[in-house]
Structure 1
Amino acid sequence: MSVAGLSVLLQSGALDPVDLAKASLEKIAGYKDQSIFTELLDEQALSEARLSSQRLRSGRSLGLLDGIPVAWKDLFDTKGSVTTAGSAVLADAAPASADAAVVTALAGAGMVSIGRTNLSEFAFSGLGINPHYGTAHNPASRDVPRIPGGSSAGSGVAVAAGLVPVAIGTDTGGSIRIPAAFNGIVGYKATRGRYSMQSVFPLAKSLDSLGPLCRTVQDAVWIDAAMRGRTAPDIRRTDLSGLKLVIPETVVFDDAEPGVVAAFEAAVLRLEQAGARVKRRAFPIFAEIFEITARHGALVTAEAFALHKARLEGPEAARMDHRVVARTRLGEKTTTADYIAIADARQRLIAAFTESLDSGELVIHPTLPHVAPPIAPLLADDDLFFKINGRTLRNTSIGNFLDGCGVSIPCGTGDAGMPVGFLLSGLRNADDNLLSVALSAEAIIRGDA
C-alpha cells in the first residue's frame, strides 16, 4: 500500500503500528530475495511502533506519517548500526553514535525505521550489482533475474516488492531515479541541499542529493515535508491546462529502446490531451556536458577518487568490487586544472540552461533509454558492465550536473514487460513547482486518468 493509504488506516485506528511493523519485518524475513537489506532493525522498529501506537490511541498523533515504516539506504547513520556503504571494508567499522539528521527528522514525524537497504558499493554504480551483500533482483522481471538499478538498489526493490511503503535513497548521478524507473515506482531526487547531508556517507559532495522512493507522488510530497522538518506538506496540485513542457532532442533518446520511446510518447500524448503544451527542441548544453567529461574527466569520478584515495593505495582495495576500484581510479587522471575547468563550465552551463527555459517550464524525457537488463551477462563481461552502466546513468546524470531536481514516474512497460520511467525535471530549487506538477500529472502519465 501507499504511505497515504496506510496513513488512513493508522490514523483511524483500523490498523495498529505494531501490527504493521511486525507484518513488514515478517514479510522481509520470508521474502525469497535476502539481498535487499543489509540489516533489519527489529527491536528498534517494534519499540518505535509501540510508541506510535500509544500516541495514536491517546489522540496525540505526530501527523500523517505516524507509524509508517521506512527503510534507509545503508549510507545513512542510524544509531547503533554500522554504516557499511555496501562495502565489506566498512563492515567492521564502529557503529554510529547518533542518527543522521534526516533520520532524526522522520523519527520526529513518527515514522518507524525498519531496516537498512543494500546498494552498489560506495554508491558508485547505476546498476545495483553488489558482490559483497548480494544483488537484489528486480521484482518486475518474469523471465530472468534482472538488475534493480543503483545505487539505491535495495531501496527501490524494497518498495517495489511491497516490503516497505517508502525507502530513502541518495542520488549523485541518478541513484534514486534509476531504481525507481527500473522497478516501476516513484523516485524523487531533490535539489542538492534541500535536506541536510549530515551523517550521510558521501560519494561526490558537489553532486550528492537525497530523496524518497515510494509508490506515489503524494507519498513523496509527504516525505519531503517531514525531511524538511515540516509538520504537514505545503505542496498543492497545479492546473495542467497550459502547463509548459519541453522534450529535449539532444542525447536523451540516443540508443533508446523502441518500447521505451513508445511508452514515453503515449504518456506525452495523454498530457497534451489534458491541456499541457509540449515543445521539442535541441539542447546543445546536454551534449556539451559529455564533451567536457571526455576532455577533463567526470566530476563524480574525481571527487570519488579524492574520497577513497587512501583506501585505493592500501590493502582495502583488494577487498573492494574490482569494477568500483577501476572506475574510481579513473579520477586520478583528473588534474587540479581539469577539476577547476569542470567546475567553471558547470556554473556556466547551469546559467545557460536556466536562460534556455521559459518561466515554469519543465523538461520531460524517458528516465532511462532501456529497461532493466539481465544480471548474468553484466557479471560475465566487465566491458559490457561499464558500457551499460554509462548508458544507464546518462540521462539522469544531466540533472545532477545542472544541479536540478527530478521525479521519475512509471509510464508503462517496454521490452519483456519491464517498467519504463517518465522523468519530469526542474531547475535548481524549483522543487515545489516540480512536485506540484507531478502531483497533478501522475495519473495521466501512468495512464490511470
Structure 2
Amino acid sequence: MTQTHLGKSIAQLSVLIQSGSLDPVTLVEESLDAIRTHKDQAIFTRLLEERAREEATASSRRLREGRSRGLLDGIPVAWKDLFAIRGLPTTAGSIVLADAAPAQEDADVVKALKAAGMVAIGRVNMSEFAFSGLGLNPHYGTPLNPRATDVGRIPGGSSSGSAVAVASGLVPVSIGTDTGGSVRIPSAFNGLVGYKASRGRYSMAGVFPLATSLDSLGPLCRSVQDAVWVDAAMRGRAAPDIIRANPAGLSVVVPTTVVMDDAEDGVAEAFEATLVRLSAAGVKVRRAAFPAFDSLFQVMAEHGPLVTAEAFALHHRRLAGPEAEAMDRRVVARTRLGEKITLVGYLEILQVREQLIKDVAGMIGPNEFIAYPTVAHVAPALAPLEEDDELFVKVNFKTLRNTLIGNFLDWCGVSLPCGTGSAGMPVGFLLSAPKEQDERLLGAALALEDIVAKLV
C-alpha cells in the first residue's frame, strides 16, 4: 500500500471505500505492490493476484452501482495457510503437502468473507501444521517481528504471517486459527488485537486441523471494532450485533495461580498498570487462586497434552513414512510424543477437562471476566531459538502456557495491546470468558479497548 493507507484499520478503510474516496481496485493494487516489494518475503506463502483483482473489480462495480454488500466490501484479507482456497492445495506451512490435490471449493469462512465483499489477497506463513507458539518455519522462512528495533525477534505462532502482515500494514486483517494460543500469542507479540472465538462459533469445514477438541478461529486486526465486524461476516450476518458494555458495570478476576509465574518485569508492570487504569474507570478488579490451573498442568504432566495426542492421531502415518524427513524436526519430535499417550490416558484427560471446566465456571461470577497477561514475556530473539532445540522447547512451552489454559477450558478470549516491556516490545492483556459468551466478551472489549490498549 502507499503510505496513505499503510496501517489503517478496517473501519478507516471502510469509510474511504463507502464514500467513494478509495476504489477497492486501487487499494488491492497498493496492497499487492507493498507485499511484493516488502523487505520480508517470508510473510506470504502465496499471492492470489488474479483472484484479488477479480474480487476488487466486482466490489468496485457494486459500489458504483449502489449495491454495496456492507462495511467490509472491498476490504483486503489474508488467510493463514491452512484455509482451503479453491484451486490450490492446502499446505499448512509444510512442503510435504505441496503436491496435494487442489481444493474443490473455498473453506466455509473464506466463502463467508467473500460473500461480505472482502478481497482475498493471499496466504500467509505459519508454524508447520500449526504446531508451535513461536512461529518459526524452516521451509518458507520465519517472518520477523516488525516491532523489534534491536535484533531479529520471533513473530509468535502459529499464525505468524497473519500477525506480521497486519502489523506491517500490508493488510488490515488476517484470519488465523487458535489451538493453544495461535491467534492471541502473535497478536500480543506484534501489538495487535487478536480475537479467539469460542470453539464451534464458525464452521471448520475446509480448515486443516491440528486438534479438533481445541481448534478455534479468529481475526488478527487493529481494533476490537474490526474484529466485531469480521466476526459478524464469518457467521453470515449482514451487520454486527455486539452491544458495547459500560466499563463501570464490568468485573474482572485476576488469577494468582500459574499465569504470573516467571513473568518478565516489564510484562508484570504493564499488566498491573492496566489494572490500575481499569479500576480508575470503574471496573471491579479482584484476585483469586485458581487451583484448577495447577490441576490442568498436572494432568498434562501425567498423561501428556491433549493437543499432542490429537496431533499424533492426525499425523501418525506421515510420521512413520518418508515425509517425516521433510518436516520441521521440532514439529516431528513434539508430535511423536503423542505416541506415548495411551487411550486410557487420553480418555482421562477428556474426563478431567470436563470436570475442570465445571470447577472453574463455579469460580467466575455471572458477569465476570478473567484477565491476565497473554504471554509472560515479550517476543524473544529468533537466532538462539533456531540454534538450540532444547531452548526452543522450553520457550515454546512458556509462550503457550497462559493461552492454552483458555483452550483447555473452552474459553473465548481477546488479546489487547496494553503497553511495552523489555526492548520496547509489545505486551498483551488477555480478557477471557467461558465458552459461547462471545457477545458479552466482545461488548466488554469494545468498552475497555481505549482504557487497556496502548498501540506501539
Q: TM-score range by the shorter chain?
A: over 0.9
The residue type paired with residue 262 of structure 1 is E
C-alpha separation between the residues in 2 aligned to 1:162 and 1:289?
38
Q: Deviations over 1:324-370 (max 9, x none)?
A: 00000000000000000000000000111111111110000000000
C-alpha separation between the residues in 1 aligned to 2:365 and 2:389?
42
Partner of 2:3: none
C-alpha separation between the residues in 2 aligned to 1:81 and 1:91?
9
C-alpha separation between the residues in 1 aligned to 2:217 and 2:454?
28
The residue type paired with residue 196 of structure 2 is K
Partner of 1:191: 198
- Tell me, yes or no, if structure 1 residue 28 matches structure 2 residue 21: no
- Tell me, yes or no, if structure 1 residue 232 matches structure 2 residue 259: no
Partner of 1:116: 123
Partner of 1:41: 48
- Tell me, yes or no, if structure 1 residue 276 matches structure 2 residue 276: no
The residue type paired with residue 215 of structure 1 is R
C-alpha separation between the residues in 1 aligned to 2:205 and 2:265?
42
C-alpha separation between the residues in 1 aligned to 2:98 and 2:41?
18
Aligned residue for 2:338, secondary structure, equals: helix
Q: Identity of paired residues, percent?
A: 66
Aligned residue for 1:80, secondary structure, equals: coil
Partner of 2:178: 171
Question: Contact 1:119/1:130 (CA < 8 Å) preserved in 2?
Answer: yes
Aligned residue for 2:121, secondary structure, equals: strand
C-alpha separation between the residues in 2 aligned to 1:343 and 1:185?
32
Choose 80-89 or 118-127, whichever is displaced more.
80-89
C-alpha separation between the residues in 2 aligned to 1:158 and 1:360?
35
- Tell me, yes or no, if structure 1 residue 87 matches structure 2 residue 94: yes
| Aligned residue among 354, 360, 368 for 1:353 | 360
| Aligned residue among 387, 401, 414 for 2:408 | 401
Change (3 A) 1:373 1:56: same
Partner of 1:298: 305
Question: Contact 1:18/1:49 (CA < 8 Å) preserved in 2?
Answer: yes
The residue type paired with residue 330 of structure 1 is L
1:242 Cα offset (Å): 2.9
- Which structure 2 residues correspond to residues 95-174 of structure 1 after superposition, within 5 A? 95-174=102-181
Q: Find runs of 4+ consecutive structure 1 residues off by over 3 angstroms.
A: none
C-alpha separation between the residues in 1 aligned to 2:406 and 2:367?
16
Question: Contact 2:144/2:164 (CA < 8 Å) preserved in 1?
Answer: yes
The residue type paired with residue 295 of structure 2 is E
1:447 Cα offset (Å): 4.8
C-alpha separation between the residues in 1 aligned to 2:100 and 2:189?
32
Partner of 1:217: 224
C-alpha separation between the residues in 2 aligned to 1:137 and 1:447?
21
Aligned residue for 2:29, secondary structure, equals: helix
Question: Contact 1:267/1:447 (CA < 8 Å) preserved in 2?
Answer: no
1:80 Cα offset (Å): 1.2
- Tell me, yes or no, if structure 1 residue 325 matches structure 2 residue 300: no
1:407 Cα offset (Å): 0.2
C-alpha separation between the residues in 1 aligned to 2:431 and 2:221?
16
- Tell me, yes or no, if structure 1 residue 67 matches structure 2 residue 74: yes
The residue type paired with residue 88 of structure 1 is I
Aligned residue for 1:241, secondary structure, equals: helix
Partner of 2:393: 386
C-alpha separation between the residues in 1 aligned to 2:373 and 2:56?
39
C-alpha separation between the residues in 1 aligned to 2:158 and 2:50?
27
Partner of 2:425: 418
Aligned residues: 448
Question: Contact 2:417/2:454 (CA < 8 Å) preserved in 1?
Answer: no
In structure 1, stretches of 5+ residues that fail to align are: none
C-alpha separation between the residues in 2 aligned to 1:313 and 1:337?
23
Question: Contact 1:408/1:423 (CA < 8 Å) preserved in 2?
Answer: yes
Q: Deviations over 1:124-175 (max 9, x none)?
A: 0000000000000000000111000000000000000000000000000000
Return the TM-score normalized by structure 2. 0.98
- Tell me, yes or no, if structure 1 residue 432 matches structure 2 residue 445: no
Aligned residue for 2:248, secondary structure, equals: coil
C-alpha separation between the residues in 2 aligned to 1:57 and 1:286?
55
| Aligned residue among 215, 219, 223 for 1:208 | 215
- Tell me, yes or no, if structure 1 residue 285 matches structure 2 residue 276: no
Q: Deviations over 1:286-331 (max 9, x none)?
A: 1110000001111000000000000000000000001000000000
